[in-house]
Structures are given as structure tokens and as C-alpha cells.
């Protein structure tokens, strides 16, 4: 079984995906897949890890993943809630 079926994809929880992204070796990923009832070869697992290592988000994707707006002029707040500007003393 090389590719996941539509049903297997639909059943992958965010938790399983997060665990998969934490795997550092192909063996770890194969073991995780096995525990979830997914057949995965070591070669396919290594290809996945290699792809994830080369994965980078562009600025727009990063903004979407972060779930926020882009802030060019950010005012930081100290623990006492008084505003501080990027390192300049007020």
C-alpha cells in the first residue's frame, strides 16, 4: 500500500499529523504509522522526512499559519503592561 486511501486521510487526526512531524528518523515514522494502522515503507518514510526538511513557508503562508496579521510597527509590552518600543528607552 503506497498511498493513503481517502478514508485513511480523512481519519488522520491533527494529533497524529503533529506526532509524524516530530519524528526524526524513518524508523520512528514507520513505527508511528504502524501504530495507527497505516502501512509505510522505510523508503517512503525517508522520502517524507526529506521533503519535510526541505519545506519552507513563504511570507504569506507563514502569516496564514500563524493566524494573524502582519505587523510592521509592533509595540511590545513589558510585564507591567507599559509599552516599549523595540529597544529604545523612553
| pLDDT tens for each residue of 45-61 | 999 888 887 777 677 77
Residue 37 φ/ψ region, left for φ over 0, alpha for ψ in the -120 to 50 degree band, beta for the rest: left
Q: How far is residue 62's CA from residue 60's CA, in Å, rounded to a whole number?
A: 5
The 3-state DSSP class for residue 84 equals strand
Q: How far is residue 41's CA from residue 17's CA, in Å, rounded to a whole number?
A: 17
Domain ranges of the chain: 6-68
Looking at per-residue pLDDT, the higher value among 85 and 61 belongs to 61
Q: Which residues fall within 8 angstroms of residue 27, CB to CB, at 6 or more apart?
A: 42, 45
Amino acid at each position: 500500500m503506497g498511498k493513503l486511501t481517502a478514508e485513511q486521510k480523512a481519519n488522520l487526526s491533527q494529533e497524529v499529523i503533529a506526532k509524524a512531524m516530530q519524528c526524526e528518523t524513518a524508523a520512528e515514522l514507520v513505527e508511528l504509522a504502524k501504530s495507527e494502522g497505516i502501512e509505510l515503507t522505510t523508503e517512503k518514510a525517508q522520502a517524507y522526512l526529506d521533503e519535510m526538511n526541505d519545506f519552507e513557508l513563504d511570507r504569506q503562508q507563514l502569516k496564514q499559519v500563524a493566524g494573524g496579521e502582519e505587523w510592521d510597527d509592533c509595540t511590545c509590552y513589558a510585564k507591567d503592561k507599559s509599552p516599549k518600543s523595540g529597544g529604545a528607552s523612553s
